[in-house]
Structure 1
Amino acid sequence: MHASDTAVLDEHAKRVASADAVLPPLTHPGSGSAPPLRVRDGLAFASRSKVAPGSMGSLWRPLVEYRLDVRIAGPDPASALDGLLCQWEDQLAEAVTYDEGYDWDTAAVVIRPSRDTTGTTTLLRRGFAPNRVLAVRLANRLGSGPPAVPGVRIRAAEESDLPTLVRMRSELHAYDAQFGVVTPRADAVERLTEDARAQLAEGRTVPPLWIAELYGRPLGFLEVELPPQSDWISGYVAADRVGYLSSLHVAEEARSSGVGSALAAHAHQLFDSEDVDAVLLHHALESPRSTPFWYANGYRPLWTSWYRRPAVS
């Protein structure tokens, strides 16, 4: 690590911490990682990740993602970001190949703290769009429990609910696929069925899947992860116990009936009962349903993922 790198890392960390106190202390890849990209007042770490076709992961992202983790400082951090992106573009032009048929299944991704808006124009000019948000809701244990919603009953999902869960999860997947990160797959129903069946059979103390009935009809579902299942996401927020709200969906005929709000309140009660300090969830920023709903229920942006898909245009 160059001596100048430490100054960049420290200044970047201070600026980001002042913008958002809920962010965790920022780290950088260890000595085994590829050499970083460097410009004056800027440092970036490039990486590549891949998921297999036919996997659950392939439903929620492109098969191949090229990521850039940036640290920018100095009097003009936006210019530092532009210089790092320019170097990365040269790397991508050589690294990205479409001989495996990936094309739309590749993406260039830059994940930034949502409140650190420095360089937003730079990303837009290079063809990136803010597609996915990791939102946070801090614990609020002063409430007396979720309010009752007339006609709505929430219960743990059972094996007999499998067809209902698959139908609603498939509806949610198809809807979110409009916004550019969640990806339509020919085997989506099969993967979602396998996953729901496995979760129903786990026998956790707190069930991960819940059904909302409206006057006896199952018209909504909720999926949650509690520690330790949610530990994979805990490093993105400064909190000791972190929960993850995986999915929430309400059937079209039940919208504006209070089912969604009842499911969200039920989730928060579950997290509070397990002493969770912060709840995280992903949502599509462009979704006209998700964005207003989650922020009306106490969430706010923590990390924003900027996507360009395909990775090289």
Structure 2
Amino acid sequence: MSGVRVVAGLLDAQTTRFERIDPLLPPAALPPEGDVLTAALPDGDRVAAVLSHSSFEPGTATTLWSALELYELHPLLGAAAGDGMDALLREWRHVLDHLAPGSDSACLLTWPSRDAEAARPLLAHGFTPLTSIAVRTVRAGTPKARAPQAGVTVRLATPADLEAVLALELAELAYSALVGAAVLRPDAEAVKRVALAGHFEQGDLIWLAERDGVVTGVAHCRLLDVTATGLTGTLVRPGRWGYVNCVSVAEGARGGGVGRELMAVAHHELHARGATGTFLYVNPPNPLASVFWARQGYRPLWTSWELRPAGAMR
């Protein structure tokens, strides 16, 4: 049987399994280019994966949430579950033995959050669920009117608010670096400043919360028209989505409803602009965000399992 037919068969079987695990998952996507790994299972079936390698230059935005050297595995398990994942991870471990990754490196594997059978071997090999893509869906239609929370004013930010937005996003980065995949690098402020200026230029929807004229929180969002052939289409189903890039509340204002009011406005406005769902990246170990986003109606769709440094895989 040709390699193309093997891959097609694994993709079809994996899509069927994804549909059974979680109806919100898109069809299984063809992996990117890279080195092909295969592994045999006890019953004679085989599973496969593509291993990609990326290096990121210091001073780029990606380095604020990734190691400088990233090894990413894209499994094709077909109908296999935990045994297939374990077999691929063992093969990956052999490959890493010959690569000698540096200290600022990571292994990454993103897999459906509801596939508990695949989670066990990932934990056994030393991976940690550092990031999840969480989704919130609503019925299409005109959103209902809502009453604002007393004492909190929410407005769209302008480029003149860049410094206030920057301070709040840096605070979120610092906290996420304690409990997630983010990395607080020495040049973080300069990198964030340039990135934010670009976000303002491209028209991102950035809402600021104020109490008595003092900025206390930010919700940085954008609208995305997702197609089946685009990169985001491998993560969520096609349609108009609201992407929640960053939400941050000043430390002294937390617990007072600022975040709830920010997201009430953001959700209302995003859906009024045609979004039928929203998604974001959240850190499961984050004791604040993991609770907050569940209360906002979000639930995990994909989980990114990481191991740093890459050579630490068991």
TM-score, length-scaled by structure 2: 0.89
Where does residue 224 of structure 2 map in the other structure? Answer: 227
The question of 1:64 aligning with 2:61 is answered: no
For residue 166 of structure 2, what is the aligned residue in structure 1?
166
Counterpart of 1:295 in structure 2 is: 294
SS in 1 for 2:35: coil
Q: What amino acid sits opposite 1:120 in the alignment?
A: A
Counterpart amino acid of 2:120? T
Matched letter for residue 108 of structure 1? C
List gaps (5 residues or longer) in structure 2: none
* Offset, 1:139: 2.8
TM-aligned CA deviation for residue 134 of structure 1: 0.4
Residues 134-283 of structure 1 aligned to structure 2 (within 5 Å):
134-140=133-139, 141=141, 143-200=143-200, 202=201, 204=203, 207-227=204-224, 233-283=232-282
Distance 2:274 2:100 in 1: 44
Q: 1:10 matched to which residue of 2? A: 12
- Indicate the residue corresponding to 1:43 in structure 2: 48
Task: Specify the alignment match of 2:92 in structure 1.
Answer: 88
Q: Does structure 2 retain, via aligned residues, the 8 Å contact 1:234–1:241? A: no
- The structure-2 alpha-carbon separation of the partners of 1:234 and 1:265, relative to structure 1 and needing over 3 Å to count, comes to farther
Equivalent-residue separation in structure 2 for 1:147 and 1:63 (angstroms): 46
User: 2: CA distance between counterparts of 1:167 and 1:269?
Assistant: 25
Q: How far apart are 1:160 and its partner, in Å? A: 3.3
Amino acid at match of 1:225: R
The answer to whether structure 1 residue 123 and structure 2 residue 122 are counterparts is yes
SS in 1 for 2:183: coil
CA gap 1:12/1:232 in 2 versus in 1, 3 angstroms: closer
1:21 maps to 23
Q: Please give the secondary structure, in 1, of the residue aligned with 2:85.
A: helix
Counterpart check, 1:54 vs 2:59: yes
In the superposition, the TM-score normalised over structure 1's length comes to 0.89
- Mean CA deviation greater in 272-281 or 138-147: 138-147
| Percent of aligned positions that are identical | 29
User: Distance between the aligned counterparts of 1:80 and 1:5, measured in 2?
Assistant: 15
Q: How far off is 1:301 after superposition?
A: 0.3
SS at structure 2 position matched to 1:184: coil
Q: Give the superposition deviation at 1:278.
A: 2.2
Alpha-carbon distance in structure 2 between the residues aligned to 1:139 and 1:277: 6
Aligned residue for 1:227, secondary structure, equals: strand
* CA apart distance, 1:253: 1.4
Q: Kindly state the Cα deviation for residue 48 of structure 1 after the two structures are TM-superposed.
A: 1.3
1:264 Cα deviation after fit: 0.8
Instruction: Report if aligned partners of 2:226, 2:240 keep a CA contact under 8 Å in 1.
Output: no
CA distance in structure 1 between the partners assigned to 2:172 and 2:226 by the alignment:
22
Aligned residue pairs total 303
Q: Which consecutive unaligned segments of at least 5 residues does structure 1 have?
A: none
